[in-house]
Structure 1
Amino acid sequence: MIGITRDVIDAGAMIEAAKRPGMGALVTFCGVVRDDDGIERMELEVYEEVAVRELEAIRDEALREYPIESVDIVHRVGSLRVGENILLIVVGAGHRKEAFDACEYILERIKQSVPIWKKEIGKDGERWVPGESYGGDA
């Protein structure tokens, strides 16, 4: 599954759906809105058509470059509160090292090229996060 959503990301359901016979590892990354310097919520905007194409291309790159079996990526947009999931990456492989390596690669590629922007909103005002096209951070 590759997608952009305005709905809550159900990490458990995505992990269960990713399981396949022969996979010895499912590695996940879950980006979460954090209270950093008084942030109360985050607004995430997306150029959806391009974002989905980029996510698909990143998945395809990872599948070519790493000995993995599956990649699922869902990114949330809209208005999110502290503690809500922003991004979920699930990588399935025969062994953990390959899955960890691919997951890290995917996260870094998302941060580089997917057109999703974040604005942090807190008690002291709001600000666009400069220099990132990614809606969450590691």
Structure 2
Amino acid sequence: MSVRVQSEAFDMGAELNAFSAGLEAGAVVSFSGLVRDSGGMAAMEIEHYPGMTEKAIAAIADEAIRRWSLERALVIHRHGRLEVGAPIMMVATAARHRAEAFAAAEFLMDYLKSRAPFWKKEIGTGGESWVAAREADEDALRRW
């Protein structure tokens, strides 16, 4: 398992190639999230508490590994100021079968969206505002 919280950009292709090297699994699933423009947004500022954030994400990645018998899991999440279109996060899972790899990846993505200890501020032409929790994200997490 690898969990990284970083300010630096990452190369999604290179990360996936490194993650997949030497696997015995039959399936690899990956998802990469980008900062999207939610209407006049120029950037997003992401804050976190170093140490606590990595520990919380590692705990949920360990749970995913146990629940779906993953061979590997990768979670990368960025912090700092990110412009629209920039990669914000990546999840990759490797399992014997695709159903487990897909389910574990979705579980990790839902957790990152709803529970990972990040604070996000949208910065745009109309000013700045903190991103509030969304009911749809909570609904997605409840299915697990």
Give the one of 49, 52, 67 matched to 2:51.
49
Inter-partner Cα distance in structure 1 for 2:4 and 2:115: 15
Inter-partner Cα distance in structure 2 for 1:125 and 1:81: 15
Matched position secondary structure for 1:60: helix
- TM-score, structure 1 as length reference: 0.90
Matches within 5 A, 1:90-129: 90-129=92-131
Question: Does the 8 Å CA contact 1:3/1:52 hold for their aligned counterparts?
Answer: yes
Give the count of matched residue pairs.
133
Residue ranges of structure 1 left out of the alignment (5+ in a row): none
Question: Does the 8 Å CA contact 1:67/1:93 hold for their aligned counterparts?
Answer: yes
Inter-partner Cα distance in structure 2 for 1:48 and 1:85: 20
| 1:80 equivalent in structure 2 | 82
| 2:39 equivalent in structure 1 | 37
Inter-partner Cα distance in structure 2 for 1:33 and 1:48: 21
Q: Which amino acid aligns with 1:82?
A: V
Inter-partner Cα distance in structure 2 for 1:77 and 1:110: 13
| 1:5 equivalent in structure 2 | 6
Matched position secondary structure for 1:26: strand
Matched position secondary structure for 2:71: strand
Structure 1 position 17 matched with structure 2 position 18: yes
TM-superposed CA distance for 1:91, in Å, is: 0.5
- TM-score, structure 2 as length reference: 0.86
CA root-mean-square deviation: 1.5
Give the one of 74, 84, 91 matched to 1:89.
91
Question: Does the 8 Å CA contact 1:118/1:129 hold for their aligned counterparts?
Answer: yes
Matched position secondary structure for 1:7: coil
Deviates more, 1:18-27 or 1:112-121: 18-27
Question: Does the 8 Å CA contact 2:45/2:121 hold for their aligned counterparts?
Answer: yes
Q: Which amino acid aligns with 1:49?
A: G
Residue ranges of structure 2 left out of the alignment (5+ in a row): 138-144
Inter-partner Cα distance in structure 1 for 2:38 and 2:111: 24
Inter-partner Cα distance in structure 2 for 1:95 and 1:13: 23
Question: Does the 8 Å CA contact 1:58/1:110 hold for their aligned counterparts?
Answer: no
